[in-house]
């Protein structure tokens, strides 16, 4: 579409002479071609502004750039997202409907407009909502409920009696409802604790590739509405994740922890069990959380503490070698004085 039309769709103001030129796509500052637009919002990439080949740059403010056109918007990243949606290439599947190699139990319920791809299995008493998609090689266990317009990609395993809401996206390799890590130590062999509960994934959740969410001992492990899990996240049994949480890759949350709404977890953070993390808290990357976190607090480090305190501790640790040398010199001098 023409650059001027695109700027209007992004609710932006076009500054530049090339409003009638056709835009062919979206790229980065570094890689953009002369018929593409890009986005600037992070000062780390400022150095690329004067060398980009882009037709236009989406920005919050006027910037010096080799691009002849600037699209001024209030929220550049949101506008960039909208541009990506507008120029997204559709990659339709070659399969539709119920593939003949899939195995659908006669006691399951498949609503209208459902796609079940090759070699998928839908077990007894499962219910698949209207417009849902079940990927190739996916297993939907007995008694599972899948909501409307949910997309479950290839190679996903959803164990028995779990509930998946509407408009959920589950990426390949995820396992929903596997047994929680529950054992009683015994000298004759650890005794397995039955995991009799299930997993409930509420509406509009996205679960990344390779995630594992354990079923509850009793009751439910819950992932709240609008929460987003990155790849390789592990949620243990009886955890409750509130609505709108963001959980980055390789995070692990131990059993029976209660997480409020709007909590953010950095990558590789680890959360002990049986604690509460309040609404709006932020857990920094690689933080080791050993106790409850109040609402709205940012914690970092291992063991996790308030972020400002962690910064002070890290600064003190950086000075520790010099401090040690000074102490050793003092001790040497003090020892010599005592001998004299």
Question: Where exactly are the structural domains of the chain?
Answer: 3-86, 103-306
- pLDDT value for 340: 60
- pLDDT value for 38: 97
The residue annotated as part of the active site, out of 171, 237, 274, 307, is 237
Mean pLDDT value across residues 271-287: 98
pLDDT digits (tens, 9 = 90+) for 231-241: 999 999 999 99
**pLDDT surpasses 80 at 330:** yes
**Least confident residue range of 78-82, 143-147, 295-299, 317-321:** 317-321
- pLDDT value for 112: 96
**pLDDT surpasses 80 at 159:** yes
**pLDDT surpasses 90 at 127:** yes
- pLDDT value for 49: 97
Give residue 282's pLDDT band: very low, low, confident or very high (50, 70, 90).
Answer: very high
CATH superfamily assigned to domain 3-86: MurE/MurF, N-terminal domain (3.40.1390.10)
Global confidence as pTM:
0.90
- pLDDT value for 338: 63
CATH topology (fold) of 103-306: UDP N-Acetylglucosamine Acyltransferase; domain 1 (2.160.10)
Mean pLDDT value across residues 146-162: 98
SS (H, E, C) the chain: CEHHHHHHHCCCEEECCCCCCECCEECCCCCCCCCEEEECCCHHHHHHCCCCCCCEEEECCCCCCCCCEEEECCCHHHHHHHHHHHCCCCCCCCCCCECCCCEECCCCEECCCCEECCCCEECCCCEECCCCEECCCCEECCCCEECCCCEECCCCEECCCCEECCCCEECCCCEEEECCCCEECCCCCCEECCCCCEEEECCCCEECCCCEEECCCCCEEEECCCCEECCCCEECCCCEECCCCEECCCCEECCCCEECCCCEECCCCEECCCCEECCCCEECCCCEECCCECCCCEEECCCCEEHHHHHHHHHHHHHHHHHHHHHHHHHHHHHHHHHC
- pLDDT value for 316: 85
Mean pLDDT value across residues 256-277: 98
237 is catalytic: yes
């Amino acid at each position: 579409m023409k650059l001027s039309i695109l700027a209007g769709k992004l609710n932006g103001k076009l500054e530049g002479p090339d409003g009638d030129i056709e835009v062919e796509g979206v790229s980065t500052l570094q890689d953009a071609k002369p018929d593409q637009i890009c986005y600037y919002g992070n000062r780390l990439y400022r150095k690329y502004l004067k060398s980009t080949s882009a037709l236009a740059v989406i920005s919050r403010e006027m910037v010096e750039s080799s691009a002849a056109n600037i699209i001024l918007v209030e929220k550049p990243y949101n506008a960039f997202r909208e541009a990506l949606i507008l120029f997204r290439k559709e990659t339709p599947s070659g399969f539709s409907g119920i593939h003949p190699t899939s195995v659908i139990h006669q006691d399951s319920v498949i609503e209208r407009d459902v796609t079940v791809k090759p070699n998928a299995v839908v077990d007894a008493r499962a219910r698949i909502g209207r417009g849902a998609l079940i990927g190739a090689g996916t297993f939907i266990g007995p008694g599972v409920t899948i909501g409307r317009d949910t997309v479950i990609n290839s190679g996903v395993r959803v164990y028995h009696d779990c509930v998946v809401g509407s408009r959920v996206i589950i990426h390949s390799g995820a396992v929903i409802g596997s047994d929680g890590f529950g054992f009683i130590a015994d000298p004759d062999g650890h005794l397995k604790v039955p995991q009799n509960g299930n997993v409930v994934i509420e509406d509009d959740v996205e679960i990344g590739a390779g995630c594992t969410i354990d079923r509850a001992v009793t009751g439910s492990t819950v992932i709240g509405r609008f929460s987003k899990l990155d790849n390789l996240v592990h949620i243990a049994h009886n955890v409750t994740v509130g609505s709108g949480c963001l959980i980055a890759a390789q995070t692990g949350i131990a059993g029976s922890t209660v997480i409020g709404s709007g909590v953010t977890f950095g990558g590789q953070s680890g959360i002990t069990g049986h604690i509460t993390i309040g609404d709006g808290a932020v857990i920094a990357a690689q933080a080791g959380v050993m106790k409850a976190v109040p609402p709205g607090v940012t914690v970092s480090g291992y063991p996790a503490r308030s972020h400002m305190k962690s910064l002070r501790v890290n600064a003190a640790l950086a000075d520790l070698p010099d401090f040690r040398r000074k102490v050793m010199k003092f001790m040497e001098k003090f020892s010599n004085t005592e001998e004299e």
